[in-house]
Amino acid sequence: MTDNATPPEGGSSFFGKLRDVLFEPEPAAGAPAAADKTAATAPPPGPSATAAMAAAKAKNPMVERMMEVVMEKTTAYTALVEAVTPLEAFIPDEASRYKAAFGIVGKTRTLEQIVQSIDMQHLPALEAESQRFHGQAKHQQDLQINARIREIDSLRASVAKVEEERARLQERLGQIQQEVEAAHKRIAGFENEIATKRAEIVEVNIRFESALAVVKAQLVEARAKVVRYLGT
């Protein structure tokens, strides 16, 4: 890309600092332009995940919180993100933004360090969050569902015993019938509770898995972008 525009006075120092990163010098008069081998051989950039991420956040608030957890520690990649983000208002092209940001961040961090921070810190942090959530989900299931299932089994066993006693003790038929009806009501109540709790847990699991997939895709795409845009 050739810089043909004259920088405006005042407020342009930011772009001046990025000049060497974003722009190439004009070829000398009469000299053949160098072939842009990188543009010819590099794969086309994938679609930006910004819109998809925004939509996912709107549908699933877990996405934003999960990304906050995954990006909580300062790494070479978070430094790159912090450098890229302010450039969105000034540099529309994503590849140029990444190159400009790396022109700043690359003074203290290498491309290998940025990629490794995604592979060895952010993705493992996501996996740790996944394990923590599933552990808590299992614990909640044990508390809210399995205990009720055991109580249902116990009540059903009691009902069966009462039914047997009713056959032998006709004189207690009225009392036994009341016990049976009460037990069935409790079973129905517990089953309704189970259905409600199970639906809630399923919904939370679905949202979590959706958020997990979105954030993992974001990190994988980010890694690919770093390699694609900044790799030699």
Quick check: 195 and 223 in contact, CB under 8 A? no
pLDDT score recorded for residue 206: 92
Residue 19 reports pLDDT greater than 60:
no
Cα–Cα distance for residue pair 41/50, rounded to 1 Å? 25
Categorize the per-residue pLDDT at 99 as very low, low, confident or very high, splitting at 50, 70 and 90. very high
Q: Distance (Å, rounded) from C-alpha 165 to C-alpha 167?
A: 5
CA distance 63 to 59: 9
DSSP state of 86: G
If you average pLDDT over every residue of the chain, what do you get? 76
Can you give 109-159 as a three-state secondary structure string? CCHHHHHHHHHHHHHHHHHHHHHHHHHHHHHHHHHHHHHHHHHHHHHHHHH
pLDDT of residue 68 exceeding 60, the answer is yes
Q: Which pTM value belongs to this model?
A: 0.42
Phi first, then psi: what are they for 72, rounded to 5°? -65, -40
